[in-house]
Amino acid sequence: MMGPRQALRLFRINWVFLRHGLDEVILATHLFRPLRWIMYLLPWHWVERDLPAYPVRVRQALEDLGPLFVKFGQILSTRRDLLPDDLAVELAKLQDQVPPFDGAEARALIEKAWGCSVDQVLDEFNPTPLASASIAQVHTGRLKNGTEVVVKVLRPGIERTIRQDLALMYTLAYLAERYWKEGKRLRPIDVVREYEKTICDELDLQREAANASKIRRNWQNSEMLYIPEVYWDWTRPNVMVMERIYGTPVSDVETLKAQGVSMKLLGERGVEIFFTQVFRDNFFHADMHPGNIFVEPSGRYISIDFGIVGTLTTEDQRYLAENLLAFFERDYRRVAELHVESGWVPHGTRIDEFESAIRTVSEPIFEKPLAEISFGHFLVRLFQTARRFNMEIQPQLVLLEKTLLNIEGLGRMLYPELDLWTTAKPYMERWMKDQVGIKGLFDRTKHNIYSVVDQAPELPLIAYRILMAYDKRLRTVEPINKPTIQPASAPALSQIISGATLLICGTLVLLFGPGQWLQETTGIAVMIGCYTAGGLLLLRAARRA
């Protein structure tokens, strides 16, 4: 049930839509279709108006509706599998800039979070914000030890405002899904649900600080990327204190060139950082637009704002790498098979039909020089095609697609001749080789060793129980059956004993062999041999029994 405040807000939304010439959006739904004749009674339809293009009007309407709708439009712009290209591109232009709130109020919020005066923590605090956005604003300061910091504080009452607007968005999404002819395809309720998760994550600054700390550890002492330090003693759910950084905004190309920064190196480093975060770290900064990236005179990137991050499962990493490699080898059948194997499309999908659809999308791309092929737009087209085969878009893949588009656009802004494929392909090939080679096997074994250690003491008992159960079965067999079963029983019993012994030996080798009394590769080989032989013997014994 909609309250008076929500009803008033809904009225204002409709009024903004009408003012921007978007009355067709409202009257296009099944709910209002019988009233479409009203359009001809509206005064602005009596004279011809010089209106901007439809995507521009949508962007302008969202800007008028306020910062939370602006942020929703930004996130919606990443769903290129759902939106027309012109609308997605226009929504990406939305700027998350809102007037700051009073510095004295920010100071009061910080002091309440810290439980003490700002002067007890900081020698200096600038009440004029350095930056202001829809969720939080940032002030500069100096710790008692002289360290320059930035203090990020959430806007007062922002959580209540977000909850109210989210409730209204869900109402609009429900109406759109029920009454709009495109509603079923665009799944507005799911889109709002994704937005809710993203926006609620950004309301917890401790979460953002934890993301920053993890990425900082991953890139400690790197010459390519620097992440500011978080000061945990003064970080709270609504306040975050971080090292202040100085650098040139990455979009200021002229200044970077004047500093002697190599644009080619900068573009290639951006691509390498992205693929390293995705494949090596499996933890990537998913909001890498130019406003969050700075560059030192040495050419090292500095990254800020870690409210949105992405991760992939190991399976998703492998399928993504294989997809991109297969795509550039024009092995469209393999691309189709990978989509089915990964579960991204239903298992009943006809491979030949899916392959044909992928070929139709991909072949025109290869008419361009390699340096002009866009990874990001390829993924967009691929996901759009897969939607026709009932592909359920995974949120982590949407984040990946958005980040790749940002990185690709950034790289080519810095160095238009950037060949993303030449830069990325060797990295993905090395990663795939590591995954399927002996190193990958050893790394996965080390990752799972604690689970094996936990179960290792039980293996002798499990083997003993198998033997006792088998012995009991032999003792309870009726005499009439003894002549037919006994000949097969001795080999089966021998196989059970041998198989259990090999499993125990393999576990002991795993625990105490590699790197101690055996070389790592030899120990791994012995362990695999023991497990394989033991498993085969137990399987054969089970068939005999």
SS3 state at 265: helix
Check 287, 305, 316, 419 and give the catalytic one: 287
Domain residue ranges in the chain: 1-96, 97-245, 249-436, 444-544
The span from the CA of 417 to the CA of 28, in Å, is 44
Say what the pLDDT of residue 480 is.
47
CATH fold, domain 97-245, is Phosphorylase Kinase; domain 1 (3.30.200)
pLDDT of 283 over the 50 cut: yes
Q: CA separation (Å) from 368 to 193, 371, 374, 421?
A: 38, 8, 10, 13
Please check whether residue 241 is in contact with residue 231, taking contact to mean a CB–CB distance below 8 angstroms.
yes
What is the chain's Cα-based Rg? 30
Residue 19 or residue 212, greater confidence: 212
Please check whether residue 302 is in contact with residue 215, taking contact to mean a CB–CB distance below 8 angstroms.
no
> Which one-letter DSSP state was computed for residue 100?
P
**DSSP assignment string, 174-225:** HHHHHH-TTHHHH-HHHHHHHHHHHHHHHT-HHHHHHHHHHHHHHTTT-SSE
Nearest to 113 by CA among 230, 204, 20, 225: 204
Please write the tens of the pLDDT for every residue from 437-462: 555 555 555 555 555 555 655 655 66
Share of the chain above pLDDT 70, in %: 68
Confidence of residue 485 (pLDDT cuts 50, 70, 90): very low
Place of tokens 């994704």: 194
Confidence of residue 295 (pLDDT cuts 50, 70, 90): very high
Pairing relation of β-strands 225-226 and 148-154? unpaired
pTM over 0.95: no
Alpha helices by DSSP H, 237-302: 253-258, 263-275
* One-letter amino acid for residue 247 of the chain: G
The span from the CA of 225 to the CA of 227, in Å, is 7
Confidence of residue 102 (pLDDT cuts 50, 70, 90): very high
Say what the pLDDT of residue 346 is.
82
pLDDT of 486 over the 60 cut: no
Side-chain-facing half-sphere of 2: CA atoms under 13 Å = 18
287: annotated active-site residue: yes
H or E segment to which residue 436 belongs: helix 420-436
Residue 405: partners with Cβ closer than 8 Å, 6 or more residues away: 78, 376, 377, 380
Q: Which two tokens stand for residue 490?
A: 């001795």
Place of tokens 């002798």: 460
Place of tokens 């087209």: 381
**DSSP assignment string, 35-59:** GGGGGGGSGGGSS---PPPHHHHHH
| Lowest-pLDDT choice from 299-308, 352-361, 523-532 | 523-532
Q: Which two tokens stand for residue 108?
A: 């009061």
E-only strand ranges, 95-179: 122-125, 131-132, 136-143, 148-154
Q: Which residues pair with 249 in a beta bridge?
A: 294
Pairing relation of β-strands 284-285 and 248-249? unpaired
The span from the CA of 140 to the CA of 156, in Å, is 19
Please check whether residue 335 is in contact with residue 361, taking contact to mean a CB–CB distance below 8 angstroms.
no
> Which one-letter DSSP state was computed for residue 308?
-
Please write the tens of the pLDDT for every residue from 356-407: 988 887 777 766 665 666 766 777 777 777 777 777 666 667 777 777 777 7
Please write the tens of the pLDDT for every residue from 130-167: 988 878 899 999 999 999 999 999 999 888 888 877 88
